[in-house]
Amino acid sequence: MQIDVERSTERVHKFLFQKSTKLHMTIVCLSLNDEDKIEKARELLLKESENFVRSKIIPKQLEIRGLGYFKEPRKEKANVLYARIGSSSDQIQVLADSISKTMILNGLAYRNNGEKYFEDNDSVKLHLTMMNTAFIRRNITPRERKSIDFKRIKYFDATKILDNFNDYSFGTLAMPPIQLCDVRKSNEFGYYQIVESFDLNANFNSEFS
């Protein structure tokens, strides 16, 4: 898709794209500045995931289909383009909302702007971020900084991308594990450093086999 988008869309640069090794769905952003908070977050994630497994509502796959964008209502000034999670995500929405609410109630969750959450009634927007203007600073090389004024790129025009790929099928993927990650670090595979992980399908099979 990246090549097709770049060929069909003006002013869309490769640095806007998420690295394939870091594709993920964010449930909630946490601020864990000491070991006690990290351990608390691990315990809460495992508890909520285990409770979910006991409900016997684990979908085997997720469908990834269609595109959406943030910075609405003007798609000409989008700063994030994401792939939508299909109808198979209904039960995962339940788990995501439960984990998010638990982290908020325990004072571990923060918004992207650094402000602490005080409400716990927001529903998690399940999505896979494909493009983000924030990725430019991370992806650009020192040499390329000289020729690209990346600081001025605050948004991009997503009109043509949405016209061409609005109902694009990215296929299905096996249900991914629920993870607690340190986004400041990367592992040997180029993904974020995993602090805790819970494989929903494996634990479901173990629980009810």
Q: Supply φ then ψ for residue 7, to 5 degrees.
A: -75, -30
| Amino acid at the residue 49 | S
What is the edge-to-edge ordering of all strands in the sheet holding 169-174? 127-132, 80-85, 61-70, 169-174
Show me where the domains of the chain are located: 14-199
Q: ∠ CA(27), CA(48), CA(183), 5° rounding?
A: 35
C-alpha distances out from residue 120 to 39, 86, 114, Å: 21, 24, 16
Element (H, E) at 62: strand 61-70
Cα 178 to chain centroid distance, Å, stands at 12
* Predicted confidence pLDDT, tens digits, the chain (209 residues): 554 554 444 455 778 899 999 999 999 999 999 999 999 999 999 999 999 888 766 778 889 999 999 866 788 889 899 999 986 678 888 899 999 999 999 999 977 655 666 565 678 999 999 999 888 777 777 776 666 666 667 788 889 889 888 889 999 988 889 999 999 999 999 999 999 999 987 765 555 44
Q: What integer pLDDT is reported at residue 209 of this predicted model?
A: 47
CATH topology of domain 14-199: Cyclic Phosphodiesterase; Chain: A, (3.90.1140)
Check: CB of residue 103 under 8 Å from CB of residue 28: yes
Cα dihedral 110, 151, 70, 174 in deg (nearest 10): -70
The pTM assigned to this predicted structure is: 0.81
